[in-house]
């Protein structure tokens, strides 16, 4: 690709999407965004619409030289049909439209949860997406969408899958804001001793890895890559770092993991009948994520994408603290 080629970014109004748009702009690309509300990024050409509208998808892709697909339904609970419509059918329509429009490369943004069956992940690489054993509708449908994406890879439209793991940073309304709100309300426990090692990804690093995948697509297409900071930390240390940056007390009480999983199952059943206004306080998947190790071997990712993280976790916590000040 060359400078001023047009890259379509779906889901650009999200936390990671905005960072990807800014990195693409800094690299000299013209950026068109496609999502249901304005991206909020100066200089980007916003096209409003949903990936569930095939006609709108075709219009958004028309004239784009490449596609970065971030749009997804991300939630711990919800109607399975919504996850299917957005994460599977929406991905299929976008892939078809990109091929028809002659897009020269495609980056599909997925999640390590597509290959997570509930047990510890200790230094694994990107295992194949496994919808049959994925935990929850988000992971299951993202696994199906990733399989569709990899099946669409070709010499004409080289495709790369990137799986950023637990992306966070200033302005994050998912992980960071929820941790801070629950800690402030005294509703943030540790599961067990909080010693499970977990990888996370500072937002700037996730965005730069996605841009690297776009630029390296002709050489590494057909592959999936997990992206992290490569600095596994204990859950207790990560939660403490976020809480201290925000000026709230870190978690000081614990719950046995088995109790949390049982409670999560109960909450899921209640939420299915009477969903709350926000995400449920606990689910079986969340209990597993907070009590089992999940960190990844980054050697293949860094070698193939010719990419390394530019922001360490400690620098990320310092930036997060500065944003709260």
- Of the candidates 239, 223, 146, the residue with the CA atom closest to the CA atom of residue 188: 239
Is residue 7 within 8 A of residue 66, CB to CB? The reply is yes
Catalytic member of 138, 202, 225, 324: 138
- Of the candidates 222, 244, 236, 234, the residue with the CA atom closest to the CA atom of residue 293: 234
User: Within 2-134, where are the H helices?
Assistant: 15-26, 54-61, 80-83, 90-101
- Of the candidates 125, 121, 94, the residue with the CA atom closest to the CA atom of residue 109: 94
Burial 172-203 (b: 16+ CB within 10 A, else e): beebbebbbebbeeeebbbbbebebbbbbbbb
Does residue 138 have an active-site annotation? yes
Eight-class DSSP state of 115? G
Structure tokens at 31: 């950026």
Residues contacting residue 313 through CB under 8 Å, at least 6 positions apart: 200, 202, 229, 231, 233, 241
Active site residues: 138
């Amino acid at each position: 690709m060359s400078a001023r080629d047009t890259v379509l970014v779906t889901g650009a109004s999200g936390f990671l999407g905005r960072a990807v748009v800014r990195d693409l702009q800094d690299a000299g690309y013209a950026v068109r965004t496609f999502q249901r509300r304005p991206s909020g990024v100066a200089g980007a050409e916003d096209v409003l619409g949903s990936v569930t509208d095939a006609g709108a998808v075709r219009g958004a892709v028309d004239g784009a030289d490449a596609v970065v697909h971030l749009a997804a339904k991300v939630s711990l609970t919800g109607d399975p049909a919504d996850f299917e419509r957005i994460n599977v059918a929406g991905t299929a329509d976008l892939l078809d439209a990109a091929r028809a429009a002659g897009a020269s490369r495609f980056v599909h943004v997925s999640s390590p949860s597509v290959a997570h069956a509930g047990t510890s992940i200790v230094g694994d690489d990107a295992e194949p997406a496994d919808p049959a054993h994925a935990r929850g509708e988000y992971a299951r449908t993202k696994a199906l969408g990733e399989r569709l994406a990899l099946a669409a890879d070709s010499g004409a439209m080289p495709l790369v899958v990137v799986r950023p793991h637990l992306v966070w940073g200033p302005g994050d309304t998912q992980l960071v804001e929820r941790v801070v709100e629950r800690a402030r309300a005294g509703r943030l426990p540790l599961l067990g001793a909080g010693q499970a090692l977990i990888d996370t990804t500072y937002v700037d690093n996730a965005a730069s890895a996605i841009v690297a995948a776009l630029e390296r697509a002709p050489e590494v297409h057909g592959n999936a890559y997990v992206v992290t900071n490569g600095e596994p930390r204990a859950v207790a240390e990560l939660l403490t770092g976020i809480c201290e940056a925000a000026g709230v007390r870190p978690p000081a009480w614990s719950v046995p993991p088995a109790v949390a999983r049982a409670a999560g199952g109960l909450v899921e059943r209640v939420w299915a009948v009477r969903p709350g206004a926000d995400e449920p306080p606990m689910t079986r998947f969340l209990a597993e994520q907070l009590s089992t190790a999940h960190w990844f071997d980054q050697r293949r990712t860094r070698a193939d994408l010719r990419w390394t993280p530019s922001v360490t976790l400690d620098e990320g916590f310092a930036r997060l603290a500065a944003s709260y000040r």
